[in-house]
Amino acid sequence: MARIKQYTNDSVIQGGDRLVGTDITDNSTKNYQIEEIAKYFAQTGGADTTRTGFQYNYAGTYSNQTIASGEFRYQVDPTAPTQYGWANVTGIAISKTNRNGVSIVPVIDLIINQFIKVTDVDSSEATSYGVYLVDSKSLISNETAYLLALTHKGSVGTPSGEVLTISPSGLSSPAFEFNQSSASNNWTITHNLNSYPSVTVVDSSGNVVIGAVTYVNANEITISFSSSFSGKAYLN
C-alpha cells in the first residue's frame, strides 16, 4: 500500500466518497461514507456550532401516547392524507429532554409566540423543513413532555420521520401580516402601525425573498422585486 500522502487529492467531495477509520466497538477498520458522517453530525447537533437546535427521534403521529425521552410526535390535522405534508402539522409533542440528553425546559417559554424552524435531518442535505409560529404549550405524558400548538407559515419538502431539529428563530409573531394573493413584482402594503417596521417576505412555497423596501410613510411601504410572485410579508 502506498503512503497516504502519495494518493491524489480529490478536490470534489461527494456524499458517496469514503474515509477509512476505526470502529470504536471492536477496533476494526471500516469504510465511512461522507454522507453518513454528515448525517451523524446533523443528528447529534455536532454540525451546529451555536447549539441552538434540539434534535429528537421520530416516534409517529400523536394521539395522547406517552412520549419517551428523546422522542417527538407530530400532531396532524385529522382530515390530512396518509402522506401528510408540513402544512398538515398542527402541533408537535416533544420530550423535555432531546435525543442527546439536553433539556429544552429552560427555553420552552421563550419560544411561545415565536417562530421556529423544524428541519428533517434524515439526510445530510436537510432540505426539508417547516416554519411555524408556536401558539401555546401544554404539559403532557405525565408532565415529561410538551405539546406545542403550531401555525404553519411556510415549508419546503415533506416530513420524512426519522430525526428532526427544532431551532428557535428569535423572531416573534409579526405585528402585521400581509398576504399578496396575486403574482406581482411590486407590493403596496398599508399596515397602519405608525412606525417603520422590519420586513420579511416569503413566497408561496415559504422561501425567503429579498426585495427593495421603500417606506412611503409611517403607515405604508412598497416592496419591489426582480420578478413577479405571490406570498406573504411579515412586519415587525
Q: What is the pLDDT of residues 28-37, one digit of tens each?
A: 888 867 666 6
Higher pLDDT, 24 or 217: 217
Q: Which has more pLDDT, 162 or 219?
A: 219
Share of the chain above pLDDT 90, in %: 44
Instruction: Decide: residue 235, CB within 10 A, 0-12 exposed, 13-18 middle, 19+ buried.
Output: buried
User: Which residue bears the cell 405534508?
Assistant: 85
Residue 35 is predicted with a pLDDT of 66
What are the φ/ψ torsions at residue 20 (nearest 5 degrees)?
A: -95, 135
Q: Mean of the pLDDT values across residues 96-124?
A: 85
State yes or no: pLDDT of 124 exceeds 50: no
Bridge partner residues of 14 (DSSP): none
Q: Which of 43, 39, 65 is nearest to 55 (CA)?
A: 43
